[in-house]
Amino acid sequence: MKAADAAVRRQWIACEQCDLLQHEVELPARAVACCRRCDAVLYRGPRTRLDTMIALALACAIMFLVTNLFPIATLSTQGIAVSTTLFGSAQLLAEQGRPVVAVLMFVTTILVPALELSALLYMLLPLRFGRVPSGMTTAFRMLLAAHPWSMLEVFLLGLLVTLVKLSELASIVPGIAFWSFCGVIVLFSWLSASFSTRDLWRWTEDARQAQASRAQARAGSAEALR
């Protein structure tokens, strides 16, 4: 493939403002392509690399596991110490007659982030090895649908207010999960800021081409053996 051919991407792109069809070209990172007629922004260059996204998602998944396995805080008063995990907090809320709050907490701080991370890793890991996972579109739709329901920051804020209020009545020691929870929030925000649908489809297209050329090579060698 000639360098000039490599620079021009295979497809056309229509300007959202004036409908002018233009050739899509590879852009350097964070560069912007503008319409040649009306100067509107057509698309942006790669926001991040696939390896960076995978590293962030894996780090986030490990931190998320730690957050769910270890106690979030230990309360001690009059010689009695009580500690609870994230899931334990939801259970306690349900036992105290607040099932709606318990379900909301479970969904927004455990279920939805877990779904988001699973969908992301399910898509990114095979792409890294040049394979397009089956159900890629479903996983992407799930990621888009789940994202608005992830409310880790809201929970952390609520938790901080509760801990400060309780600190007047009991001595409180934040657990490992509390610190990893802060880490999860930082990494999640970083992931969200780095994620770009355009990058994802570009990686998918590259993996699809790699898959096709592997299939072609296999067919070629099978032909040669005959």
The distance in angstroms from the start CA to the end CA of the chain is 29
Are 74 and 176 spatial neighbours (Cβ–Cβ below 8 Å)?
no
Nearest-approach distance from CB 200 to Zn ion, in angstroms: 25
Interface with Zn ion by CB under 5 A: which range of 1-9, 11-19, 65-73, 104-112? 11-19
Binding residues for Zn ion restricted to 16-45, rule: CB under 5 A: 17-18, 20, 35, 37-38, 40
Quick note: the x/- pattern for Zn ion over 40-79, rule CB under 5 A, is x---------------------------------------
Beta strands, E only, 78-221: 80-84, 171-174
Distance CA 223, CA 122 (A): 34
Nearest-approach distance from CB 35 to Zn ion, in angstroms: 3
Nearest-approach distance from CB 93 to Zn ion, in angstroms: 53
Nearest-approach distance from CB 31 to Zn ion, in angstroms: 18
Q: How far out from the chain centre does Cα 208 lie?
A: 22
Quick note: the x/- pattern for Zn ion over 117-136, rule CB under 5 A, is --------------------
Which residue from 137, 140, 99 is spatially nearest to 116, judged by alpha carbons? 140
Binding residues for Zn ion restricted to 80-99, rule: CB under 5 A: none
Please count the residues of this chain forming the interface with Zn ion, following the rule CB under 5 A: 8
What is the DSSP code string of 161-198? HHHHHHTTTSEEEE-HHHHHHHHHHHHHHHHHHH--HH
Distance CA 50, CA 28 (A): 15
Nearest-approach distance from CB 33 to Zn ion, in angstroms: 11
- Residues in a beta bridge with 156: none
Q: What are the residues binding Zn ion (CB under 5 A)?
A: 15, 17-18, 20, 35, 37-38, 40
